[in-house]
Structure 1
Amino acid sequence: MTVSLDDVAEIAGVRATSPLRTVADVLLRVDRYPAVSVLDSALSRGRVNPAQLAVIPSLIRGRRGAVAARACLAEADGRAQSPLETRSRLRCVDGRVPPDTLQLQVRDDDGYLLGIGDLGWRSPRVIAEADGRDAHATPEALFADRRRQNRLINAGWTILRFTWRDTLHPDYIPHTVREAIAAAQRK
């Protein structure tokens, strides 16, 4: 794959860079949380693929911010479906309670899908949901969330719900997850 930093095109009279070039440039200019959020979003939306991400170190080599940007590449995960999910995951990683999976599918004994959790800790049966305002604000979404949560709780899972505001407090999410895991292990 040949990609250069001169990867610029004109679209409807506006100069624009390719998604890969844009991601590489953004990584050099933002802190870790927004950088990993951009990577996750680009992967999740199919704007870049893992093979393209592997090219980024060569694109940014020698540029200011390259060392930090390369560290962010290692944390990218296209299963995150929103910046809120990414931030919640990074808070857990930083708090030394990383989820063991993302988009955890929980099924009953017959294979019926009970729900999908944003962040999952399978052994203690803990799920964390990152509840963004847009995706969860309508009455229909709230009712669907409640039904799904009830199914998961009845199947023996602990459900935690976090918002953007929760991610602004570095210790809150990992502390809450740790407490839920400890409570599950006491059962």
Structure 2
Amino acid sequence: MPLRFLHRFVRLAPTGPAQGKGEGMPRRPSPLPPPLGDTFSVRAAREAGVTGARLRARDLESPFSGVRRLRKPDEVPQDHDDSPTAACARVATARLVSTAHAYGTVMSEEAFFCHVTAAAIWGLPLPLRVLRMESRSSPTGTRGERPIDVGVRLPRRGPRVSGVRTHRLAGELLSVREVGGRRVTSPATTWAQLAEELTVDELIIVGDAIVHQPRGRNAIKGAPGSGLATLDQLAAAATAGRRTGVEKLRQALPHIRAGSMSPPETQLRLAATRAGLPEPALDFDVLDPSGAMIGFTELAYPRWMILIEFEGDHHRVSRAQWDRDIEKHARCVELGWNVLRFTGRHVYPTPEPAVARIRAALVRAGWHPGPEPRIAR
């Protein structure tokens, strides 16, 4: 055997110790200092003693220069919404918030998050189309991650960073708060800014989420003004100077209600009233004859003894919730209530089937379309 060939054979042939379990497996990156968290600046990592090689490890990504973030699979947060695109929208929202958090580690003190990014940070319901933007560089028109929205007050100039959309804003149009250590436009200001991209109905949905008064312990109704903002604050933000989309804001304001708890409920309410049905009561307490509370429902027509329940997926997967629902509905029926139960498929892609069921129930209960009949005196 030629010497050159023998040398090659010996070099490539496996030997005993190298054939153990895990042969050829890359070494797992060493743990990072816990105070850094999942997202951190390179500067903070260096100060904590992290080496350059560790910062280049495969388990880290760099969404912005000088920033590192642990790579994680996208997780779908559980939510009440059952629309076909809801899961995708929740993933995109979580990703946008994560990217904003990453940029926040190097963001200047005078900058703040605004527009769609601020809405995502506040946890407001956003349509998938604004969370994903068309890629101008792609000939196929594929959609990619939305740049984060960062604002500065005029006359300052904002950052020029890839992945950041800068907004230079007049001071009279702004109210800025701190959320989790980051500067973010207030919910009312954010709602007004969204008029640049949202439709009137989408502004109503977001407005409902902002003014919603969450229930406290023992399902006690939230106090007036306990939401992220009040209707008066939304109105003030809409008229605070010259805004893009101000006409859409004016059209949306009269239809925003504090009792709506989810986008499907808002859409069902809007569809019902536009079809000529009476406006339902929202977040309605159902009481027994003694005044004790049986439960509460999303929409109701007390005059016609009709309750409307929107069943999100948590009603199905939670055994405790399912048991409570069964008991509540049985008790309501005993007291003469007609309980209409809907899921996402009754609202998406169109709420017309749900509206038809509500109309039929109202008619059976004695409701007459058109103006209320006059009472003879």
- Aligned partners of 1:184 and 1:40: how far apart in 2? 29
Alignment pair present for 1:146 and 2:306: no
Answer 1 or 2: which has greater helix percent. Answer: 1
TM (normalized to structure 1)? 0.85
Alignment pair present for 1:183 and 2:364: yes
- Aligned partners of 1:13 and 1:145: how far apart in 2? 39
Alignment pair present for 1:27 and 2:195: yes
Opposite residue 69 of structure 1, the aligned amino acid is L
1:29-75 CA-to-partner distances (Å, cap 9, x unmatched) read 2123321111111111521113212203313x643322122111111
Paired residue secondary structure (1:114): strand
Give, in angstroms, the shift of residue 157 of structure 1. 0.6
The residue number in structure 1 matching 2:67 is: none
1:6-25 equivalent positions in 2, closer than 5 A:
6-8=174-176, 15-25=183-193
The residue number in structure 2 matching 1:172 is: 353
Alignment pair present for 1:106 and 2:264: no
The residue number in structure 2 matching 1:70 is: 250
Give, in angstroms, the shift of residue 96 of structure 1. 1.6
Opposite residue 67 of structure 1, the aligned amino acid is E
1:123-162 equivalent positions in 2, closer than 5 A:
123-134=303-314, 137-162=317-342
Opposite residue 183 of structure 1, the aligned amino acid is R
Change (3 A) 1:151 1:13: closer
Assess if the C-alpha contact under 8 Å between 1:84 and 1:164 holds in 2: yes
Q: Which has the larger radius of gyration?
A: 2
The residue number in structure 2 matching 1:49 is: 230
**Once structures 1 and 2 are overlaid, which stretch shifts more, 9-18 or 161-170?**
9-18
- Aligned partners of 1:103 and 1:111: how far apart in 2? 17
Opposite residue 356 of structure 2, the aligned amino acid is H
**Once structures 1 and 2 are overlaid, which stretch shifts more, 63-72 or 175-184?**
63-72
1:65-105 CA-to-partner distances (Å, cap 9, x unmatched) read 22122111111111111222212211212222143311222
Contiguous gaps of at least 5 residues in structure 2: 1-170, 214-226, 368-377
Change (3 A) 1:53 1:7: closer
Identical positions, percent: 26
The residue number in structure 2 matching 1:87 is: 267
- Aligned partners of 1:155 and 1:13: how far apart in 2? 50
Change (3 A) 1:161 1:12: closer
Change (3 A) 1:5 1:140: same
